[in-house]
Amino acid sequence: MSKVVKRINDSNYDEVLNLSEYAFKYTLTEQQRAEQKIEMEKQTIFGIFENDQLSAKLHLLPLELFLGKDVVPFGGVAAVATWPEHRRKGHVEALIKAGLEEMRDRNQTLSMLAPFSISFYRKFGWELTHYVHKYYFNPVDIAKVNVDGRCVRVSFEHANDVLQSLYEQMAQKYSLVMKREFWWWEKRVLSTDDHVIIYYDRMGKATGYLTSKVKNGVLQVNEFVFLTGDACKGLLEWIRNHDSMTDQVELNVQPQDDIVFYFHNPKIKMCRESYFMTRIVDFERFILSYPFFRTDKPFKVSILLQDDYAEWNSGGWTLFIQDNRVEKITKNMDPDSDLSITTNIQTLTALLFNSESVERLHTFDHLQIEGDIEVAKKLIQPLPPALLDFF
């Protein structure tokens, strides 16, 4: 029996959609199938074929993300699926290797995915970086406040520039937040039953927004973005005004937006759930654009790196850092380095994107450091990761 990995074109789109329907347990209408095929034109899809029949597939989405104010391309891995009769034959491993090579060729130095199993994708070099932070409460748990601004219900069609601006100002406070195009908002973020509320301050300036819907008697606030305390209070007041409609609110907040302290009743249920994983696809090219080093003098770091599935990352590296950027990188371990780190690609990803601290990773033996760990903590100061999207 022959096994072939190939790039899928439109002649195979129906086979791809049939496999997605089975694997992810949904049924598409004819209109939805047509829309999916249009989106697939923007993607790179790899398939494993056995005797000319599709047995497994993997989609790569060409996307961009924020690292603070910097924007870099990344590959979104999505809709990985295998027919049950073809599982445990190494198909996904072959697809992932093809995907990594494709992303490297396209200068997508990072990759992200939503895992069905974190341990499964860890072995291929991805690491947990994102969490969902959610509050569950009654509207009356929110304190009554007076604000000078106002909340306005809008449509995306008429307020897309304002929403995009608010979203991107929030995104630049974090790392790994996806950069959105307008079509993404319309197709992937907002549904027909979503309500979009923008808060305008007393000067008429937009300083926050939320998206919400009422489902099964629960007010679900999926995006809650504020740039000022006044905007936060104004949007919370809008939520509180649902006290006659429901006694249940689910509110998604960003990692640094721990606002429960300011509730009338802060004793509410809070949840942190594992969400997305990230991978460094091409370490050499990525680290040359990494924006989160902090040093007031030239600094030299050696890294002994292990990567079992992107061999071009493995080996010894020396980084020459000046003015908070890597000015030069060499493929060796310089014995005169100020700091030496030994680790694998998963742990390095966690370190460089602040999903775990240097100190904790060292404490739990995920990385070895030769040199002063306090120096390492001062050198690597990434913004925390956040993500409002799903793919």
The yes-or-no verdict on residue 256 having pLDDT over 80 is: yes
DSSP 276: -
Domain 3-108 and domain 133-273 have a common topology: yes
The yes-or-no verdict on residue 356 having pLDDT over 70 is: yes
Q: What mean pLDDT is reported for the chain? A: 97
The yes-or-no verdict on residue 114 having pLDDT over 70 is: yes
CA dihedral 331, 332, 337, 341 (to 10 degrees): 90
The yes-or-no verdict on residue 51 having pLDDT over 90 is: no
pLDDT at 71: 98
The yes-or-no verdict on residue 94 having pLDDT over 90 is: yes
Separation CA 266–CA 237 (nearest Å)? 15
Domain ranges of the chain: 3-108, 133-273, 282-379
Q: Read off the pLDDT of each residue in 246-263 and give the average, rounded to a whole number.
A: 96
Share of the chain above pLDDT 70, in %: 99
Element (H, E) at 75: strand 70-82
pLDDT at 294: 97
Burial of 145 per CB tally in 10 Å (0-12, 13-18, 19+): middle
SS3 86: helix
Task: Identify residue 366 by its one-letter amino acid code.
Answer: H
pLDDT digits (tens, 9 = 90+) for 217-238: 999 999 999 999 999 999 999 9
Residue 4: pLDDT band by 50, 70, 90 thresholds?
confident
Could you tell me the two tokens for 313?
């990352």
Q: Read off the pLDDT of each residue in 99-125 and give the average, rounded to a whole number.
A: 98
CA dihedral 158, 174, 307, 8 (to 10 degrees): 0
Q: What is the CATH number of domain 282-379?
A: 3.30.1050.10
Q: What is the CATH number of domain 3-108?
A: 3.40.630.30
The yes-or-no verdict on residue 1 having pLDDT over 60 is: no
Torsion sign, CA atoms 40, 389, 384, 274: negative
The yes-or-no verdict on residue 2 having pLDDT over 80 is: no
Torsion sign, CA atoms 133, 139, 143, 145: positive
Task: Assign domain 133-273 one CATH number from 3.40.630.30, 1.10.599.10, 1.10.3720.10, 3.40.190.10.
Answer: 3.40.630.30
Could you tell me the two tokens for 54?
């599709």
pLDDT digits (tens, 9 = 90+) for 52-85: 899 999 999 999 999 999 999 999 999 999 999 9
Separation CA 343–CA 222 (nearest Å)? 36
pLDDT digits (tens, 9 = 90+) for 6-38: 999 999 999 999 999 999 999 999 999 999 999
pTM of the model: 0.95
